[in-house]
A = this chain, B = another copy of it.
Amino acid sequence: MAESTQHVGNPWEGVAIAAVPDRLLAGDLVDEIEFLAARARSLGSAHANAMLAPLDLKVRSYSVLAVVCGGSEPSQRELADFLRLDPSQIVSLVDTLEQRGLVSRAADSRDRRSKVIRATAAGMELYQRAAAAVRTAENTSLAALDGPERDQLRVLLRKIAFG
């Protein structure tokens, strides 16, 4: 405990991460990239969710907002494929974002089955703050890696996440 009593309360400080005895690190699982990715992602999203909570977002809703704020005007189907979620989940995610006035559904002139999702001004504004929060969270999650290592990791993950 620091001497200061002031309680700034960085949200990610509340994230509990249990230590793992060396004995368990001897198994084969720690050589499996998928397992490592799953654990890394679990730790990462715990931090990110904690940082996003004050903004009433989770990594889930944040990721939708992030794509939409990219300006690519995606359809819901495209959001589903990109985020690897079921189309029905996109419906409810866009529903709540739309109710909050962060996002809008517009008719697609070329395909009237499809809807174009766009960010509103409020959506863009909230996204800016959310992105900053996520960057902070990522920074703590990746504390063990220096800059070049993070770049390497990004490149490698991008290769397997997309063709």
Contacts and interface: CB of A to CB of B under 8 A. Distances in A.
B72 A27 contact: yes
A59 to B, nearest CB: 7
Chief secondary structure at chain A's binding surface: helix
Interface in A145-163: 145, 149-150, 152-154, 156-163
A88 B74 CA distance: 40
A134 B52 CA distance: 34
Contacts of A67: 24, 27, 29
Interface size class of A (residues with CB under 8 A): 35 or more
A48 interface: yes
A42 to B, nearest CB: 5
A163 B144 CA distance: 7
Interface string A88-104: 00000000000000000
A74 B36 contact: no
